[in-house]
Amino acid sequence: MLRPLIFAPCEKIIVNQDDNTPSLITLLETINIGIPLGAEIPQDAMAPFRWFIFTLWCSDTETPGVTFQYEQRIRLVASDGRQAIENDLQFSVPAGSRTHRTTVLVPGFPIIAPGIARMTLSLREGEGPWEEIQTFPLWVTRTA
């Protein structure tokens, strides 16, 4: 099975071309949305802010010659309970791989209620059941 070593939203990811190591630039803890509190906003509105979600997985399984199939699901749930983002990504971990990285590009940030939003990471092997395995809180604020 896989377990996450890193699950983090960030502004940018740079991968070193010499040794293929990633650098996460500007980890996101707080998102400030510059919209007046009384403004009428469509429910699916997005602020123009490009960001990434990076996950580094570690494999606990060593089965020679076997490639494992996984699917990860990332959700962002606002403080009012509204699901603002859902992203599913299928990937394979070849035999002998100790780690695997996934990167999700998010082209905008949803305009959601102020408060603590929850970004969750779930995983399933093949077509098995989903298991929520990690949560990352994002503080969402609004300014006029």
In a domain, residue 37? The reply is no
For 63, the token pair is 């089965």
What confidence tier does 39 reach under pLDDT thresholds 50, 70, 90?
Answer: confident
What is the domain extent for residue 84? Answer: 2-30+50-142
Long-range contacts of residues 26-33, Cβ cutoff 8 Å, at least 24 apart: 28/138, 29/138, 29/139, 30/138, 30/139, 30/140, 30/141, 31/109, 31/117, 31/138, 31/139, 31/140, 31/141, 32/141, 32/142, 32/143, 33/109, 33/111, 33/112, 33/114, 33/140, 33/141, 33/142, 33/143
> What digits encode the pLDDT tens for the residues 101-138?
999 999 999 999 899 999 999 999 999 999 999 999 99
Domain harbouring 72, CATH code: 2.60.40.10
pTM of the model: 0.91
In a domain, residue 38? The reply is no
Total structural domains within the chain: 1
